[in-house]
Amino acid sequence: MTSVDRADQPLLFVNAAQVVTCEGAGEARRGRDMNDMVVRTNVAVAVVGERVDAVDALPVLRERFAGAREIDCGQRVLMPGLVDSHTHGIFGRPRYEEQEMRAAGLDYMEIARRGGGIHSSVRDLRAQSEDTLFELAHARLRRLASFGTTTIEVKSGYGLTLDDELKTLRVIARLARALPMRIVPTFLGAHEIPLEHRGSAADRQRYVDLLIHEMIPAVAAGKLARFADVFCETGVYTVDESRAILTAAREAGMLLKLHADELTSAGGAELAASLGATSADHLAAVSDAGIAALGHGATVATLLPGTMLFLGKSKQAPARKFIEAGVAVALATDFNPGTSPTTNFPLILTLGVSQLRLSVAEAVIAATVNGAAALALAGHVGQIAPGYSADFALFDVHDIRELPYWYGDNRCVATYVRGKPCHPSDLGVT
């Protein structure tokens, strides 16, 4: 190894057209504060080990970090790596046939009632080996990273038996060890009521009992999930079932998320707020009472506009109402085989601006600081500020407003996680 490759040698990220730092308090940003993305010019960023040490004028940093390696940003935009706080990244076969079924007039929930939708992915995942699931997810998460994402929450939820859920969570743990991205695991054994438990009310209750008394304890004992999540929706889990499952998960030491008010207004937002969930996700059908409930607490509203777009719904979550009510809004891809098979997070920023009517700054904060808050990581990732993990994305644009503008394009040229090149893995240390 030459001295140039020394792991402890400071790095200086130089010659960026803009450094979008998102710096500020290490917590979710709400209301007018969501416009504070902080665009700095004529600054460089110093990284020591895994963390940002300083953001300052280049001559100042060159003097302070003599002998540092310099990474030339080439007059592009450097920003915190995108934080994707909602994905269902572990699945086998893609479900492209359902897209045409919806185009022909069959609703998403109707496809599920006929045994397709999530049930179709469940049948498929149960038949796949752990190694195959690992290989498939490895390639798919790499693709997420190639668009500028450095932190990825990954849910289980296509197993729906103790063994298949544990299998999925073991795959997520293996991915976290194998990939440079930061991966946050979520247990979503309550993604559907499995078909074999849909015969009677007693069958259904047996699955809820299995979740509470066997699956959650096993997941907690194996330390396999940081979060637990439930699909609270008309025809899936009721508010009462969701409350019972999440309460058990909280008692087992997990933080909480909830698929809330995605397609119908079923009281999910109110439930998430009352449980102090870290995030309530989807919310396209949220009621005014649900918005008010979230406005009184700390739960982040994670909006997933790609899902509504792909399902062909004209409705989107009322992002402006959330912001006016003082709710912290995050954006995420909802990457999954049924309702949002996109790995392109910048495209979600486009939808954030064009469909949710966010400003560019609000969309950027929603994908960084507030995405991190939706994963209880806001003091650690999502900002380019001293002490924060050196998780960066470098985009081939000269102004941050170009990021949601070139929609569908991939302008990401490199990402770094913990100060090390992540995507592409061989770029950036010259």
Interacting residues with ligand NIG (CB under 6 A): 88, 117-118, 121, 231, 259, 262, 307, 334, 336-339
**Sheet of strand 279-282: strand arrangement:** 82-84, 149-155, 182-190, 227-232, 255-260, 279-282, 300-303, 329-331
Tokens of 61: 């940093």
Q: How far is the CB of 199 from ligand NIG (least distance, A)?
A: 22
Helices in 91-193 by DSSP H: which ranges? Answer: 97-103, 108-113, 118-127, 130-146, 162-178
Closest contact distance (angstroms) between CB of 94 and Fe ion is: 16
Choose the one of Fe ion, ligand NIG, none that binds residue 268, judging by a C-beta under 5 to 8 angstroms depending on kind. none
Nearer to ligand NIG, 121 or 343 (CB): 121
Taking the complex as a whole, the smallest distance from the CB of residue 67 to Fe ion amounts, in Å, to: 47
**Eight-class DSSP state of 158:** S
Residue closer to ligand NIG by CB (options 84, 262) is 262
Binding site partner of 189, from Fe ion, ligand NIG, none, Cβ cut-off 5-8 A by kind? none
Q: Which residues bind Fe ion (CB under 5 A)?
A: 334
Closest Cα to residue 350, out of 412, 401, 308?
401
342 binds, among ligand NIG, Fe ion, none (CB under 5 to 8 A by kind): none
Smallest separation, CB 88 to ligand NIG (Å): 6
What is the H or E stretch that residue 84 is in?
A: strand 82-84
- Coil/strand/helix, residue 311: helix
CA distance linking residue 114 with residue 423, whole number of Å: 41
Q: Compute the least distance from the CB of residue 334 to ligand NIG, in Å.
A: 5
Query: What whole-number distance in Å separates Cα of residue 371 and Cα of residue 83?
Result: 5
CB 189 within 8 A of CB 165: yes
Nearer Cβ to ligand NIG, position 65 or 231? 231
Residue 391 interacts with which of ligand NIG, Fe ion, none, CB < 5 to 8 Å by class = none
Nearest approach, Cβ of residue 156 and ligand NIG (Å): 12
Q: Out of ligand NIG, Fe ion, none, which partner does residue 368 contact, by CB within 5 to 8 A per kind?
A: none
Which of 308, 253, 262 is CA-nearest to residue 281?
A: 262
Q: Using CB distances below 5 to 8 A depending on partner kind, what does residue 262 bind out of ligand NIG, Fe ion, none? A: ligand NIG
Residue 49 DSSP symbol: T
Least distance to ligand NIG, CB of residue 337, Å: 5
Residue nearer to ligand NIG on the CB measure, 56 or 261: 261
127, exposed or middle or buried, with CB in 10 Å at 0-12, 13-18, 19+?
Answer: exposed
Say which entry of Fe ion, ligand NIG, none residue 338 contacts (CB below 5 to 8 A, set by partner kind): ligand NIG
**Cα(57)–Cα(62) distance, rounded to whole angstroms?**
9
- Of the pair 341, 419, the CB lying nearest Fe ion is at 341
Q: Which residue of the chain is nearest ligand NIG when measured via CB?
A: 338
* Shortest Å distance, C-beta 325 to Fe ion: 23
341 binding partner (options ligand NIG, Fe ion, none; Cβ < 5 to 8 Å by kind): none
Closer residue to ligand NIG in complex, CB, 120/389:
120
* Residue that is written with structure tokens 């102004």 in the block: 399
Closer residue to ligand NIG (CB): 338 or 371: 338
Choose from Fe ion, ligand NIG, none: what does 339 bind? Cβ within 5-8 Å by kind. Answer: ligand NIG
Of 88 and 142, which CB lies nearer to Fe ion in the complex structure?
Answer: 88
**How many whole angstroms separate alpha carbon 363 and alpha carbon 320?**
12
CA distance 61 to 362: 30
The distance of Cα 6 from the centroid of its chain, to the nearest Å, equals 32
Rounded distance between C-alpha atoms, residue 174 and residue 266, angstroms: 36
User: Whose Cβ is closer to ligand NIG: residue 150's or residue 307's?
Assistant: 307
Shortest Cβ 315–ligand NIG spacing (Å): 14
